Structure 1
Amino acid sequence: MKRPVSCEWNITNYCNLKCSFCSMNSTHHKDFENLNITKIKEVARKIKEVGCIYVSLSGGEPMSHPLFFNIIKELRKKKLEVTITTNGTFINPSNIKKLEKLGIKWIQISLHGNDPDINNKIMGGNVYNVIRKSIELVKHSSIGISVSSVITNENKASIRKLQEELKLKNITHITRKCMFVGRAALIKKELNIGRKFEIEKISKNCGLFFAIAVNGDIQPCGEFKVKLGNIFEDNLIDIWKNSPILRMCNKGSRCLAEIYENNKKFRTQINSMI
């Protein structure tokens, strides 16, 4: 395969919120000891060596990590473009200035409709107004912004209203159906809205080439929790070149993460490749 263009780095499983549909099973347990400066430098070097151009920092809540800005600095030293996926609760004027100085080009913030009560219930905290302020802070900075919403039965009406509002503000809005993995798998019936909501379809693949878990495990993506190797123990270039699972993901038209989670036959097939 050609070199990967982008990867996702999950730098912590800790999150200060508890979204009902969280596919990452994020927790309130702080696991920051998994990364130190030495490991951060090693990961940055290997991401660069495998050929990536873009790195998406995710979690959990990536901005909660005490070494968050150090991680960005090491990635930027390698001339890697960094994007951030965040719930927005750690964004403030001081952090925006730091991110601008580090050359961050894009931040994606989660907001699940324009109804404060529904959003707060879904996200597990009284954070609607905080996130709204964060969106405005990024919008008025030099950093690009998108807002990401997961569609459920509960919030689909308020998401339509949010779409209209963001369009007027020229803010990119990304709508996603719920991935029934992680915490979301426990409440599938409540979350599933089938095909009633128009969602942009993936024509080739999601654009992510591989993911790095908190402990260094290499996975097809954060939702597709199949260990292909470990960045601290194995050769990332070899994993990229030789993994049949990565080849399947990068040429397919359907997301394989949810199929793996819910289809026993497919899961057995994938596990035989590991």
Structure 2
Amino acid sequence: MYGKTGGIPMKNELFTIGPFTVYSYGFMIAVGVFAAWLTAEYRAKKYRADTDQIFFLVLWCLVGGLLGAKLLFWITEWKEVAADPGFILRTMTDGFIVYGGIIGGIIAGWLYSRITKLNFLKYFDLMIPSVALAQGFGRIGCLLAGCCYGKETSGWPSITFHDSDFAPNGVALVPTQIYSSVLDFVHFAILLWIARNKKADGQVAACYMIFYSAGRFILEFFRGDLIRGSVGALSTSQFISIFIMAAGLAMLWFTTVKAGRK
């Protein structure tokens, strides 16, 4: 599967070894997870956190994130599941929703922190910039695969796929994958700055929730893939964004007030 934008080639299948094919989306997800792990390890040493816990936190959050992303996809496609339960088995390896991954990862991290008696908010702050970094690489995977594409456009910039199994071919589209990736990397940098200046545990995580939900809500207006589901006039992700934003604002207020009382 190939596409072109400004002469830059894109390929979904990177290479094949025997019966195994390495896909660009899965590869970029793996790169993102590895980068997230390395940055979390580095920052744990910098802030004198327990580095022995980072690998297991990453692993728990990864598993929880995958389960959450898959579960939310099936929830949004409940009509398909109700009509044909075999839909679940046929979509085991494709169809994931980022918000489900975020929520599932947070729950998994909270459970791990409870089991190991870690300070959840402290490690939430430590890990969350790495999540934004991983998302940036993941969106590059979306670009290479052609998924999560934008609406048709006659403006500039645009992106046109020519042999995609996901995006419409031969049509100029809003490059939502590029926008998302750039915003995620910028988000990562901003969260690092906030982490250096925070007054209380939980403030970095709260800012992530606020910034990501706001950016995602706006970008959803430019998305063209219809499989994401909807709640009234809003897409599923926009609907969830409202609650994530509210939770982030409440968390920021609470942690700021708590810090001010010390």
- TM-score band by shorter chain is under 0.3
TM-score by length of 1: 0.27
Greater helix share, structure number: 2
